[in-house]
Amino acid sequence: MPGRCSMARRFWLGDTMVAYYFLLPAVIGFAIFTAIPLIASLCISFYDWNTLSDPKYIGLGNYLKIFTNDPIFMTALKNTFWYAVGVVPFSIALGLGAALLLNQQIIGIAFWRTIYFMPVMTSTVAISLVWKWLYNPEVGLINVLLREIGVQEPPTWLTSVTWALPSIIIVTIWKTIGYNMVIFLAGLQNIAKDLYEAAEIDGSGKWNGFWYITLPLLRPTTFFITVISVIHSFQVFGYALVMTEGGPGVATNTLVLYIYQQGFKFFNMGYASAIAWVLFIILLVFTLIQTYVNHRREAANA
């Protein structure tokens, strides 16, 4: 018996070491490209450093400047917030609507699912360039069609302080519908059809089935999509950079774009790192609030 236990232990240790060997590349990659840069950015945020001279320790100076002496940061934060408010609810609602439509037994269902998902697979830069042409006030397809239906002075879109941010919001919603649709489809296909059949036998219509069966059972899926959508919305960068470069003025300047500008345009690496950590704290607070609200709701419905 002691010999068998010793042999089993050796086999177990051998299997464990093999598992660690397989995990080692991922751990090394995480350490090099995520953990070490994360710690380094936190340290740099306490320094005044332009990458050309030696870092100068200033303590919380960068963080104090963010909230007391930087109106552009507050504008970028406001723009990012309104961008998230515009993108998250509409992308979720339209993604759910598309999932409900494409969860039916219709001809060519695979084709339509592919069409809806194609924007997700397309490069952000490519999408931004195409939509930048569509938004062109003179020769863009959108304004051409608006003039055809009688709109004499269509918006100038990306060069308008009023329309620039909504223009980027529209593009983002169009791109993210497919991703949300796929996640919702997975959730819908996990709902047992027997529940709908029982509801129909009881005389419940489709609306009641959607309201009392579909939505409650999709709550975990909706929570996941909401959290991911909020995080992605606060990290918007490519659209603002390619389509407007933060303009006109600072009308579309977002937090991540402002971090890029401070770090790689003005070479204020310490200040850019501090803004990045403020963004991290904002996202952490939002995620914790969403998690808390979801847990309370689940407990109330238990």
Report the run of H or E that residue 164 belongs to, with start and end.
helix 164-189
Strand, helix or coil for residue 140: coil
Checking if the pLDDT of 204 tops 80, the result is no
Task: Report the chain's mean pLDDT, rounded to a whole number.
Answer: 89
Q: Say if CB 245 and CB 161 are below 8 A apart.
A: no
> How many helices, marked H, and strands, marked E, lie in the chain?
15, 2
Does residue 13 surpass a pLDDT of 80? no
pLDDT band at 202 (very low <50, low <70, confident <90, very high): confident
pLDDT band at 9 (very low <50, low <70, confident <90, very high): low
Inter-CA distances, 101 with 182, 190, 224, Å = 12, 16, 21
At residue 246, the 3 state secondary structure works out as: coil
pLDDT for the residue numbered 14: 62
Average pLDDT of the segment spanning 126-155: 92
Distance CA 283, CA 236 (A): 13
Rounded to an integer, the average pLDDT of 130-159 is: 92
Question: What is the reported pLDDT for 112?
Answer: 84
Q: Is the peptide bond before 166 cis (omega within 30 degrees of 0)?
A: no
Position 21 scores a pLDDT of 82
| Placement of tokens 């177990």 in the chain | 12
pLDDT computed for residue 200 by the predictor: 80
Over residues 48-74, the mean pLDDT reads: 92
| 4 — pLDDT class (breaks 50, 70, 90) | low
Has residue 11 got a pLDDT over 80? no
d(CA 265, CA 274): 16
pLDDT tens-digit series, residues 220-245:
999 999 999 999 999 999 999 999 99
* Stated pTM of the model: 0.89
Contact 140, 133 (CB under 8 A): yes
297, 222 Cβ separation under 8 angstroms:
no
| Percent of the chain scoring above 90 in pLDDT | 67
Tokens of 47: 């320094």
DSSP collapsed to 3 states, 116-173: HHHHHHCCHHHHHHHHHHHCCCCCCHHHHHHHHCCCCCCCCHHHCCCCHHHHHHHHHH
**Is 90 exceeded by the pLDDT of residue 168?**
yes
pLDDT-based confidence at 2, cuts 50/70/90? low
pLDDT of residue 12: 55
For residues 65 and 262, give the distance between their C-alpha atoms in angstroms, rounded to a whole number.
13
In the predicted structure, residue 300 carries a pLDDT above the cut 80: no
